[in-house]
Amino acid sequence: MRFSQTFIPTLREVPADAVIPSHRLMFRAGMLRKLANGLFAYLPLGLRSFRKVEQIIREEMDAIGGLEIKPTVIVPGDLWKESGRWDAMGESLLRVKNRLDADFVVSPTAEEVFTAIVRDEVSSYRQLPLTLYQINTKYRDEIRPRYGVMRGREFVMKDAYSYHPNEASLEETYQAMGQAYRRIFKRCGLSVLPVRADSGAMGGTGSEEFMVESDIGDNTLLFCKTCEYAANVEKASCQPDFTLPSAEAKKNIEKIDTPSVKTINELCAFLKTDAKNFIKTLIYKALNVELDLSETPGGEKLEKRKPRADAPEVYPEAFFAVAIRGDLDVNEVKLAAVLKASEVALAPDAEAERLTGAPLGFAGPVGLTKIPVIADTTVTAMQDAITGGLARDVHYTHVAYGRDFTSWRTADLRIVRAGDRCPQCGGELYEKKGNELGHIFKLGYKYTQGMQVRYLDENGKSQVPTMGCYGIGIDRTLASIIEEHHDDAGIIWPSSVAPYQVLIIPVKYEGEMQAAADKLTAELEHAGIEVLLDDRPERPGVKFKDGDLIGLPYRVVVGDKNLAGNCVEIKPRNAKENRLVSLHEAPQELITLIRKDLLN
């Protein structure tokens, strides 16, 4: 391809809203242009690399038996109502109506679509297991799209869905997907960090995320210094850092005056003690709770509804008190999982005061009867604690769990932090920031049961298949490659995903330099090497700057001086020095280098 015949509008200036390297470089290298906030158009150079990432993913999906299909992006709203996610997805779901006033969804994910197809077409165990995938456009109405295509509103994902007659079959595909993901990211030149993860809105049990380390990462990751434990903070657990209570006699609970003392820090100063000796009580509002709350305090008064006729009843809204040790924070993802709720958040101040009968800062679990109390596991060991007294300027001391109050449920609800102990080996945990590129889930029966998928087993009995879900963000993967492979001058593409593999720069595109550049281009292209020939009438310095900016793996400079000795300069983009190679040997040397790159 000749530079003059393609469209690569490079920029010298950095866009004002571009704050991370991939965003800046994709704009400056003429790969991308912004149409609106969170919406981007790929230009020819960017699309070539985008398609290469797609193809690597497609090859690895096909290699493990995945079958590609292409559903629509606009999906009937009835499918989302059937699964119960029409309401649960909230405002991130873009809902539209057609001219007949029928509801549709601009697809943010495709569990409903794939499951509907399988429901209509799969009837026998002989058709299972089945893995289908798509590489297709998605839309999520992000509140704050940022960082270019790293977090846009419209994006492309590979998502695969597998259907199985049993858990063993699901486990086999889940493991195969995990290995395929590792190969995909290696072929893209990415160093990924596989971590345990929460299944979130997708539901299900087992889950693993594939992260890249990033200073602007949306995720906090925890790793053990001693063993291979790695987890997203949403899922991370740690060893207990408390001792179980002894059978010794305990002091009786005592009410004390704490005038105008509300916060943990104020209490520590007032009582000359440590935050670890407090039990703080937070009031949470949960949406779409699937648990039976009828036997809990106030549960019999809660409204119930069914998202669909065959679904279990849910409580659209319920309130809970969470008791946790004073030096710890509540992991709201864990709390939502315990409650089987679509969302949890701190209750509004007025609601918290109404439910506890106390001003903010004085809530406590002792005597709290209007709502159920959920205790973090650390609280169960506290036998001489301080808590709010459910009245202004009042606290309790010498509070013992099990004697002065109990809880409706206990669970691990803490946010794990650097310095906590590994749940596997007891080693020290440390933190990194990361961005998610891929996620694999064991969804189980959440969608197949809810959407009435049935097949006949070998005994002619009707069964429900179990299900897996596996996603990779193409745009985010492409941006992450640039984040990992760049310098101050521009991008440094791995050969596997470079828009072209060789950049040929004649110092002047005329005479012997033109003839040599054309000959070298033709020989490389004949061998299947992708070449960009810079035939523009620009100064050599401009060509070199643009060459470093777009970052093709190998640059060949064709100049008068070196041609006098029948040589050209070859310089890998990731090397500091160039070297002279004979014009005759240059094509084979480049072919060998690129093929070696691709094999590695």
* Residues contacting 86, CB < 8 A, separation 6+: 77, 80, 93, 95, 103, 105, 307
535, HSE (Cβ side, Cα atoms, 13 Å): 17
Domains in the chain with CATH codes: 17-235+431-482 (3.30.930.10), 254-411 (3.90.960.10), 500-599 (3.40.50.800)
Residue 288: per-residue pLDDT: 87
- Rounded Cα distance between 482 and 189, Å, is 10
Q: What is the DSSP letter of 566?
A: T
The tens-digit pLDDT sequence of the chain (600 residues) is 999 999 999 998 887 888 899 999 999 999 999 999 999 999 999 999 999 999 999 999 999 999 999 999 999 999 999 988 888 788 889 999 999 999 999 999 999 999 999 999 999 999 999 999 999 999 998 888 889 999 999 999 999 999 999 999 999 999 999 999 999 999 999 999 988 775 554 445 578 999 998 888 888 999 999 998 999 898 899 998 876 665 555 789 999 999 888 788 888 889 888 899 999 999 999 998 989 998 899 888 888 887 655 566 889 999 999 999 999 999 999 999 899 888 899 999 999 999 999 998 899 999 999 999 999 999 999 999 999 999 999 999 999 999 999 999 999 999 999 999 999 999 999 999 999 999 999 999 989 998 999 999 999 999 999 999 999 999 999 999 999 999 999 999 999 999 999 999 999 999 999 999 999 999 999 999 999 999 999 999 999 999 999 999 999 999 999 999 999 999 999 998 999 999 999 999 999 999 999 988
Q: Give 357: exposed, middle or buried? Use CB within 10 Å, 0-12, 13-18, 19+.
A: middle
Amino acid of residue 200: G
Residue 264: per-residue pLDDT: 85
Residue 216: per-residue pLDDT: 80
